[in-house]
Structure 1
Amino acid sequence: MIRFRSPIVVSFRSLLVVISFLFLTLPGSLLAQPPDCLEPHRTLLSEYKAFHNANKYHSDAQYLVQTCWGEGCQGTGDRVRGTMFLLRIAIAYKKILLVDWTRPAPLTNFLLPNDIDWTFTGLDPNMFHTHSTLSNQDFDSAIYSGHPDAVAKLKATKVHVVMTNQHFYINTMVGVTPVDYDRKVDIGSCYYHFLFKFNASVVERGEQHLRQLYGPSPVDYIAWHWRHFDADWDKEEPVLISNLRATMECAQKLGDLVGVNPVQRPVLLITDFNIFRQFVLAGELRKVVTLNITARHLDHFQTEQSLEVFNDIFVDLYLMSHARCLLTSRSGFSKLALWMAGGQLLRCHRDMIKCEEEIVWR
């Protein structure tokens, strides 16, 4: 059992602990999640917040660390959903969840801690770079099969470092509170907001773009995410005009539903189809607008690329998550935007071609 120790000397690290605790618990023990966060997840997260804040710096604490220290971490949505998945594991096994990226840059350049401090602040980073006493095979055997020997090893492990892109909402783990598949969008939003909030630099740039496109006052708008995979591959993939027409018809339906006229307030396109983005920037489509941003894949890191290049990835997410409605593609980026949004956007999203709500999750 982890308990508080009575410190005799107030050290600098102790001061960090106090500051971190106050920052993450004021006011009271309120969570930063949406108020309609479903049970039992709201209670689980509230209890885990108290556990994490009380024990992050305890000498007996055990850590589950999501990292990206090299290549092969995959894209933005993949990484974040993996962190949300590990949060469920950390809750079940009473582990302190930490998150650390070095590629392409520290995560805190883009997203900050919200209800818990998942950074290495106040801890010795070297302790997380030592060889883990738990193999990935034993980790998987413990959480998916509940094998007694593997579970015992996991419970005894001080630090386990892992990079996973596992889907947040799967229910194939043993001893982990399940996620209702029919409410996975809402529940996912709760877990996301428990962990993350936008860095102020992302918010500032996102708001600048919105004022540029729609004027100085906040307005409802329809966003459209089109994952075309051009940021992944060098060649341009063909496009069916019938699919584009279906997308614009779906945008019109959503606009009619929420009182947004795409002629008067054009649809905001977010896409990795950079050639098409330039086409829209040139004013060739009267019902669509976009930003002068060249999409990049987070995992396709080049040393000469500046932090601003990757900051724009999260600016795109900010703009999507603040839309009134969203046209989605079959991409983790679309899912992530919905989780980031919460609220009314969770009730107003459709697949960009079939104009169905559920297909984004298949």
Structure 2
Amino acid sequence: MGVGVFVNFWVAIRVSDRQPSVSTRAESTQSVMSMTFAVSGYDESSLIRDRSFGVSVWNDSTTLPTWMKEYFDWHRTQRQLHLNETNYGQFTFLVVRCLKHDLKCGGTADRLKPLPFYVLLASRMHRILLFHWERPFLLQEFLVPPVGGVDWRLPTSWRRDQFSDTIEIKNLKDITPYLAKPHSGRYRKPLPAIACILYQSHDHGALQYNQLALQQTKEATYEEVFRDCWNSFFVPSPPVQSRIDQLRQSLGLVPNEYVGAHVRSQYHSYNGNKKLKVLVQNAVACASRLRTEVRQSIYLTADSERALQVVGESSVGMRNLPVVRRKGDRPPLHLDRGVAYLAKSATNWTYHDDPRAYYDIFVDLYLLAGSRCIAYNVGNYGKWAILLSSNRSCTINHGKTTCRWKILS
């Protein structure tokens, strides 16, 4: 079953007594305003989306189920034809949030990896799915909607007091009122404005997605839809994409022509039980087993700078392998663990006054996902990259497998 991870999801639900019909809302022929937002380090005008009904990024997917494509089409219609900066009070929303005063939001994977499950819930609720971060920065600093994709950003005039009421949802039973028809059975009253989803999950909604989505039809699983679903919502922001491109060029990484290895070294079960050097050496050794050509390098990333430094101190066998890594002058920042990274109940949050300090979280994710095969261990970051990759079957769990070097000649 894997290691249980305490996940805290805030899901905000904006409700109204009556959801206007499409025809009613269409009476307002105002063009939707370009919902721009402040993003540091570049001209935000470059982020304004194409509002024409051109090609949708999900059109050519042979994996996404029909209901999901139809929801994306509906979502896009609401954003482009009806919703603007002044009338959003007439609509209903499902908002995945992390506000400054929220006690816990989880790490990056905790916040974003449940995406297919959120889409399923939003579809069943007939609500517009949006994402909103305040901590550590706006999500738009790191990821933006693709042209022709799902626009998940909040209207800029959305008031902070929209997030005033909360209710906790701890399991699927608590979600039932939101999945019921608006005026059916005992759920006749308007639902609370904000719901907080708080539950133990090691798979970030995969089990729940598969149970709900596959009840009556044979369709792709959570794992199978994840990549196309993600690409319908997110692409790297321009500065993050620029950093990805720079590293690919400097390290000689050609998509699908190198192997990725991720090391989670700062983990409760590893604390004091595994030597870092042995852990990193085995990760690289396992990655070497995935290489098929001499020219294929190994891109190594880890949750600590010390783990990356081990490469240069290791045995001759490792040094004979073409291992490349991102070099930095500071340890990687984590979204929601602070300095007490190994604490079971960490209350400190990481803080930095520059969003660029967090870019490498997403840079490493996309570089791992761009590899042909991935070696990973505990945690969800490496598994997240696998879901985003083009070959989910080419993996090794180096935390469960002891590997010997494979030197190609």
Deviation of 1:66 (Å): 0.9
Q: 2:394 aligns with which of 331, 348, 351?
A: 348
Superposed, which structure 2 residues align to 1:1-362 within 5 Å?
Answer: 1-3=20-22, 4-7=25-28, 14-16=32-34, 23=49, 26=52, 28-32=54-58, 35-40=61-66, 42-50=68-76, 52-53=78-79, 54=81, 56-57=83-84, 59-69=89-99, 70-114=102-146, 115-132=149-166, 135-137=167-169, 141-144=173-176, 153=187, 156-157=190-191, 159-162=193-196, 167-171=204-208, 183-214=221-252, 220-229=257-266, 238-239=274-275, 247-256=283-292, 260-261=293-294, 264-280=295-311, 285-286=318-319, 287=321, 288-293=323-328, 294-299=331-336, 300=338, 301-304=349-352, 306-341=354-389, 343=390, 345-354=391-400
1:271-294 alpha-carbon deviations (Å, 9 max, x no partner): 114212122256863222211142
TM-score normalised to structure 1 length: 0.76
Distance 1:247 1:154 in 2: 55
Q: Which has the higher helix share?
A: 1
1:30-62 alpha-carbon deviations (Å, 9 max, x no partner): 234773324345534444434543554455311
TM-score normalised to structure 2 length: 0.69
Deviation of 1:77 (Å): 0.7
Amino acid at match of 1:271: A
Distance 1:337 1:190 in 2: 13
Question: Structure 1 residues 275, 44: CA separation in 2 closer, same or farther (over 3 Å shift)?
Answer: same
Unaligned runs of 5+ in 1: 357-362
Deviation of 1:218 (Å): 6.0
Deviation of 1:229 (Å): 1.6
Unaligned runs of 5+ in 2: 1-19, 36-44, 339-348, 403-409
Question: Structure 1 residues 41, 193: CA separation in 2 closer, same or farther (over 3 Å shift)?
Answer: farther
Question: Structure 1 residues 355, 220: CA separation in 2 closer, same or farther (over 3 Å shift)?
Answer: farther
Amino acid at match of 1:2: S
1:105-154 alpha-carbon deviations (Å, 9 max, x no partner): 1111111123221111254233522325xx22599545258789998659
- Identity between Structure 1 and Structure 2 (%): 19
Distance 2:228 2:325 in 1: 29
1:302-345 alpha-carbon deviations (Å, 9 max, x no partner): 4446322211111111211111211122322122213333x3x3
Question: Structure 1 residues 281, 42: CA separation in 2 closer, same or farther (over 3 Å shift)?
Answer: farther
